[in-house]
């Protein structure tokens, strides 16, 4: 999955931060904000912080390859800063699916396939399937470490 930095109007990065937020990863501390109603969090945004963390990810077919949408949805959890309930998770899944339909989907194609690259499981559907993604710790299926990435 590739997530690129996006800077909001307030000058703060939000795309990578949202991935860490939804994965409940890297939070090392928090302070009350200056207005008393918000919290300022300190995040370790090293890739190691994401190891063994879980997010809901939307997989879609793009030509002969499967891709993962850059928008994710959280799983249910509670930490010192916030909590996500089942209804929150459904809301964020809906936001990601809307993004897919509005900006990514090929409007001319009637059939779309949702697949998961974890193990050998694949699911066919019509744009409605999210998969919970965790780190795949199985050995690569190729015998060479220099195989090219398909995109």
Q: What is the pLDDT of residues 32-51, one digit of tens each?
A: 878 877 788 888 989 999 99
pTM: 0.67
DSSP for 42-110, please give it. EE--SGGGGTT--EEEEEEEETTEEEEEEEEE--SEE-SS-EE-HHHHHHHHHHHHHHIIIIIS-TT-S
**Is residue 52 a part of any domain in this protein?**
yes
What Cα–Cα distance (Å) separates residue 3 from each residue in 49, 87, 104, 138? 15, 25, 15, 23
Domain that holds residue 78: 15-133
Whether 55 maps to a domain, the answer reads yes
Tens of pLDDT, residue by residue over 51-72, are: 999 999 999 888 888 899 999 9
* 128 vs 81, higher pLDDT: 81
Number of domains in the chain: 1
Residue 32 resides in a domain: yes
């Amino acid at each position: 999955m590739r997530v690129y930095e996006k800077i909001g109007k307030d000058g703060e990065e939000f795309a990578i931060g949202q991935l860490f937020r939804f994965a409940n990863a890297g939070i090392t501390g928090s302070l009350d904000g200056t207005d008393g109603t918000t919290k300022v969090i300190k995040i370790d945004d090293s890739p190691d912080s994401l190891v063994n963390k879980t997010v809901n990810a939307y997989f879609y077919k793009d030509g002969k390859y499967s891709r993962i949408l850059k928008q994710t949805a959280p799983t249910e959890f509670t930490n010192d800063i916030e909590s996500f309930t089942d209804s929150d998770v459904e809301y964020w899944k809906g936001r990601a699916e809307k993004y897919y339909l509005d900006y990514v989907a090929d409007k001319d194609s009637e059939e779309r396939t949702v697949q998961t690259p974890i193990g050998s499981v694949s699911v066919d559907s019509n744009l409605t399937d999210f998969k919970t993604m965790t780190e795949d710790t199985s050995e690569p299926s190729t015998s060479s470490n220099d195989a090219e990435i398909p995109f």
